[in-house]
Structure 1
Amino acid sequence: MEYQAKYITDDIKLSCYEDKFFKSDIMFDHHMLVWFISGETKIVQADATYYFKKGDIFLIPRNQLATIINYPKDGQPHKTVVMHLSTEKLRDFYAELNTKPKAIESHKIHSYSNHPLLESCLASLLPYFTMETLPEDIASLKIKEAISILRTIDKKIDDVLTNFEEPGKIDLAGYMEKNFMFNLPLEKFGYLTGRSLTTFKRDFSKVFHTTPQRWLTQKRLELAHYQFIEKKKKPIDVCYEVGFENLSHFSHAFKKQFGYSPTELTKRQNA
């Protein structure tokens, strides 16, 4: 994979993928504001799938699970400017305001198309990625500018950005049934359900009477089989959407479980 990233600070980067595609399963520790310069992205969450392309601008709320697949488009690489709106930066910003928003937990991705104010703010960052010496506090100023613009164009965004709570202990069975297709370390699943790794494994065993690894593999293969039968999807698409990292491993596990490979099943479907 030919990947390049340039940083102004840890919170602002220019990201570029040259490959055919790049897939990752991610939990977002911070709100992320993204501006597309070129390429396409498919973002799969538990209850929604999003597609973004050149010119699009969107905000992904923190502590959300997603499968992200990045593609080049029209001979251009997948290239984005990404700004992290960290809890620390947001606390500092809102401490200066006399506002009392109602903090809510937001799962949806907020899309702002190619809004001219946001695009101008994010495009103005491009020259800084080529500079060795940056103006003092430029990153902090740009983050404040971006937050101010978001608050101007989206009157409900305060309710999202002021949610500083960490995940509390929640129903394990319900959460895992909804999010099993995301291939994350067990520590992350523990965090998102309000548990340490040890407590997560213990509670998981009590609920499901098996190990997390075995249960996750079983659920992902069952979902894959459903996608082939009911949705008529291709093996390469199903593989990544249900939580496997490569097609070879997926095909081997699928055949071991069902007695036939994904290719054999799709050929049977198309016969």
Structure 2
Amino acid sequence: MAKREFNSNAEIVFTCGEAFHYKGEMMVEEHCLVRVLSGELKVIHADKTYVFGAGETHLFPRNQLATLVKYEKEGLPYKAIVVKLSNTDLKDYYALHPFKPTIALSGKIARFGKSPLLDSFFQSLLPYFELSNKLPENLSKLKITEAITILRTLDKHVDEVLADFSEPGKAELTAFMERNYMFNMPMEKFSYLTGRSITTFKRDFKKAFHTTPQKWLIQKRLELAHHLLKEQRRKPVDIYYETGFENLSHFSFAFKKHFGYAPTQIENK
């Protein structure tokens, strides 16, 4: 599950999976443009799963919950280049290229097909990861601007995503949590994504569910795990992470405490 990251600077990252199978969860506050170089990346949202192979590029929007599963493919580990498009860089860009979003598209991953523009852009970044020092800031700015320009050329709707600097609005709490309880995120992230302070989030949660967020999340995740084990005949080692548990031992302990028997004994129940 280890991974390495080589940074030219904070905004342009080369990531290389040392393991051949890696799982992790992600909620970034910046848009990320990702080119998979080798291996395969599965991005699991609450309602849709995306799979990206070598040579494919996608734009991962900010403030979205997802589980990432990185696989080896054809004997090669997962490798990718990630270009972060920060709000600061985007605001600087759109100050010179004014655009006012009229529709909200920020919740969807944008997949980009084969493009000589994207190919040449990512190829130009590879030598930077061999530098012993950080990439000069002015050069980094040029590459970020180049990335934004290419995206605007390839997708006429991308401005609606990149130029939207609004923060999450106050979401309907019950529906949001029912859709996203399996993501193992800090409570502060859940509160932020529902447009609440942590104090208001806990208060509204108690009113909606008549229990604490921690107790409710554990119960929901264990119920999902029980369903996957019992009805789909899956193994504990294959489902503990996607049901929101950090490791197998924690999952097994919580499962036995709640149901009275170990997850490996479910076939006998």
TM-score of the alignment, normalized to the shorter chain, above 0.5: yes
Contact kept, 8 Å, 2:20 with 2:78, in 1: the verdict is no
What whole-Å deviation, never above 9, does each CA across 1:219-253 have from its counterpart, x for those lacking one?
A: 01111222234444333332111111112221232
1:202 is matched with 203
Percent identity of equivalent pairs? 53
Contact 1:44 1:241 in 2 (8 A): no
Q: 1:124 to 1:247 in 2, by over 3 A?
A: same
Name 1:104's counterpart in structure 2: 104
Q: Do the aligned partners of 2:36 and 2:54 also contact (CA within 8 Å) in 1?
A: yes
Bigger CA drift: 171-180 or 244-253?
244-253
Q: How far, CA to CA, are the matches of 1:260 and 1:251 in structure 2?
A: 9
For residue 83 of structure 1, give the secondary structure of its aligned residue in structure 2. strand
Determine the C-alpha separation between the residues in 2 that align with 1:244 and 1:205.
23
The one-letter amino acid of 2:33's match is: L
Pairwise CA distance, 1:102: 1.9
Mapping of residues 42-53 of structure 1, within 5 Å: 42-53=42-53
2:235 alignment partner in structure 1 = 234
> How far does residue 98 in structure 1 lie from its aligned partner after superposition?
4.2
2:194 corresponds in structure 1 to 193
Equivalent residues of 1:103, 1:163 under 8 A apart: no
Deviation at 1:17, TM superposition (A): 1.6
Structure 1 residues 144 and 216: alpha-carbon distance in aligned structure 2, compared to 1, 3 A threshold: same
How many residue pairs were aligned? 268
The 8 Å contact of residues 59 and 111 in structure 1, kept in 2 or not, is answered as yes
TM-score, normalised with respect to structure 2: 0.92
- The answer to whether the 8 A contact 2:56-2:113 is kept is yes
- On the 8 A contact 2:99/2:163 being kept in 1, the answer is no
Q: Separation in 2 of the partners of 1:243 and 1:98?
A: 41
Does 2:153 align with 1:132?
no
- Match of 1:222, SS state, is helix
Gaps of 5+ in 2: none
- Separation of aligned partners in 1, 2:237 and 2:74: 21
Normalising to structure 1: TM-score of the pair? 0.91
Deviates more, 1:43-52 or 1:65-74: 65-74
Where does residue 23 of structure 2 map in the other structure? 23
Instruction: Give the structure 2 partner of residue 94 of structure 1.
Output: 94
Unpaired segments ≥5 residues, structure 1: none
- State the match for 1:68 in structure 2: 68
1:213 maps to which residue?
A: 214
Asked if the contact 1:18–1:72 (Cα under 8 Å) also holds between the matched residues in 2, the reply is no
Report the 3-state secondary structure (helix = DSSP H, G, I; strand = E; otherwise coil) of the residue aligned with 1:240.
coil
Counterpart of 2:56? 56
Distance of 2:177 and 2:92 partners within structure 1: 34
**Alignment match, 1:39:** 39
Secondary structure of the structure 1 residue equivalent to 2:238: helix
1:66, 1:136 → 2: CA distance? Answer: 30
* TM-align CA RMSD: 2.0
Matched to 2:192, the amino acid is: Y
Alpha-carbon distance between aligned partners in 2 of 1:75 and 1:174, rounded to the nearest angstrom: 41
> Residues of 2 paired with 1:117 and 1:34: CA distance?
14
Distance 1:135 1:167, change over 3 A: closer
Separation (CA, whole Å) in 2 of partners of 1:209 and 1:170: 18
Matches within 5 A, 1:249-268: 249-265=250-266, 267=267
Cα distance change on mapping 1:201 and 1:27 into 2, 3 Å: same
| Deviation per residue, 1:52-93 (Å, 9 max, x gap) | 221111111111001112223333222110011111111111
